[in-house]
Structure formats: structure tokens, C-alpha cells
Amino acid sequence: MKRYLPIAVWAVALSVIAGALLFLESDFLWKVQEGNLFLETSLFFREQMVVPGGLLSWIGTFLTQFFYVPWLGTLLLCLLWLLLMWLVKRAFLLSAEWSALSLVPVGLLLLTIVDMGYWLYMLKLQGHVFVGTLGTVAVAALLWAFRVLPDRYWLRPLSIVMTAVVGYPLLGIYGLAATLLMGIWSWRLENGTLWKKMGYSPFFAHIDKDGKWGKPFELPQQDPDYPRQLLRSYNIPEFMRGPVTIDPHTFADVLKGEGEPVKYVQQLSNRQ
């Protein structure tokens, strides 16, 4: 039995829990849609777009209408949370072992709804039940797009600028959050990672005692698509037979000492 659950299991489990909690609050959800009137007019759209983040509010108000049938609105909300979990996993390259971390933003969003209480009658933001989810989905999607964007022709710096210019009017604080995270991400990639200009994935091959090597094969990964997501960043493979037993101070003393000449012997096989 695997020591961790795949993300699909976590997603289904969360959907069941979230759906049960929200559906039990059917009266509350019906009141939410009563207080969020959506009008299919251009005037209503322009009124929402006056403030930063107006697009989220407009879409959120539209989706809130579905709480007229509580189970239908709950289903839409859970589907958005499943999408959010998938985007978080892709954007942050979470392995299956750490896939449970994608539950964190969804759990916080769920808490803001079920623990709303009397804030329901005080909040003036239209579509507020969906706004947080829509904004977080937008941030995760922008980060994922930024990660897979080729680092050429100044595409990444331009994407940061465009996110700041366009994201703030449409997404409000979520646009600023995406811009900030992109900037931090870009800085860490340039200063904290050893980049290698490689257009292919790492391959291994068996070399016998005569120097003949067999057919190269790609290093197996749990996620077959994982190497394609990191085409420019690799760690140097280090093969070890056991734990390190050398004291760090002893290792440092060796580095400070005099070096010894090393003779390199290279044997190449005769290939036709």
C-alpha cells in the first residue's frame, strides 16, 4: 500500500466534505443569492468594473444565482475548488507525496464561507462567496502560465508587467498578489538556481568494463511529465551507497589543504 494518497483521492474527499458542509447550510446559501442581485445589462457590468477587481465581482455575482438551488451552487463551487487544487499542484510542482498541501487554500476558502455568520448582512462586495475562489484560481493559473513560459525574448519580465497593468483593474488585490509572486519567483530562479541550457531531459546509459555503452534511457519519474516542466534546471546526480559519515569540519580541513595531482584516464569504444 502506498504511503501517501494520490491527489485524486484528496480531491474527492474534500469535495464530499465541502459539499456536505455547504449543503447543510442550504438556508444560508439561499440568503446569499437573495442578497446578490445580478442584472444582465451593460450598465450593471460597467458599475462593477469601476472598482479594481470588478470582473471577479461580476462573475461571482452571476455564479451566486445558482445558489437558488443550493446543491447546484455548491456543485459549481466544488468544481472550482477541484480546478484550484489541480492548478496549485501544477504551478508549484507538488509531488504526490505533498499533494495534500493543495488542500490548504481550499480549506481556507471553505472556512471563510461556513464561518461567515452575521458578516453576510454587512459585506457589500457583490458575489463575495465566489470572489475569493475565483481570485485564487486566477493567481494559480497565472503562476502556472509564468512557470511554463519560455525564458526568451524578455517574455517573463513582460508577463510580470502585463499582469500588473491588466491584472489589478480586473482582479484587484489578486492581480497584485500574482505580480508579487511572479517577481519573487523570477528572482529566486535567477539567483538561487544553477541554470543549464538544455533542450532535453537527462538520460542514463550502462557502460561496461570495456567502455561500451548501451542504449540510453530516461530517468524514470513518478510523474512522466515532470522532466518536461523543468527543461532548464537540473541537479547534478550523486550516487551513494550509504549515509555521509565524514564530519563537516574534517571535510573543510581537507578543502583547505594542499591538492594532489590527479591523472585522468579516458577510454572510448570504437564505434562504427
Q: What is the pLDDT of residues 225-250, one digit of tens each?
A: 666 666 555 555 566 677 777 777 77
pLDDT-wise least confident of 5-14, 72-81, 104-113: 5-14
**Grid cell digits, residue 202:** 537527462
Q: Which residues contact 268 (CB under 8 A, 6 or more apart)?
A: 211
CB atoms within 10 A of CB 153: 8
Higher pLDDT, 126 or 80: 80
**pLDDT grade for 214, boundaries at 50, 70 and 90:** confident
Q: Name the nearest CA neighbour of 37 among 17, 54, 11, 61.
A: 61
Predicted pLDDT at 3: 43
Q: What is the distance between the alpha carbons of residues 145 and 232, in angstroms, rounded to a whole number?
A: 16
Whole-number mean pLDDT of the chain? 76
Q: What is the pLDDT of residues 121-152, one digit of tens each?
A: 566 667 888 999 999 999 999 999 988 887 77
Buried b (16+ CB within 10 A) or exposed e, 207-225: eeeeeeeeeeeeeeeeeee
Q: What is the distance between the alpha carbons of residues 94 and 100, in angstroms, rounded to a whole number?
A: 9
Predicted pLDDT at 200: 46
CB atoms within 10 A of CB 194: 8
Predicted pLDDT at 137: 95
| Residue type, position 25, single letter | E
Q: What is the pLDDT of residues 61-70, one digit of tens each?
A: 999 898 888 8
Predicted pLDDT at 28: 75
Q: What predicted TM-score, i.e. pTM, was given to this entire model? A: 0.64
Tally of residues, the chain: 272
Cα angle at 6 between 5 and 10, to 5 degrees? 75
- Specify the 3-state DSSP secondary structure of 165: helix
Confidence check: pLDDT of 271 > 50:
no
Higher pLDDT, 186 or 193: 186
Q: Which residues pair with 203 in a beta bridge?
A: 218
Q: Name the nearest CA neighbour of 234 among 185, 195, 189, 176.
A: 195
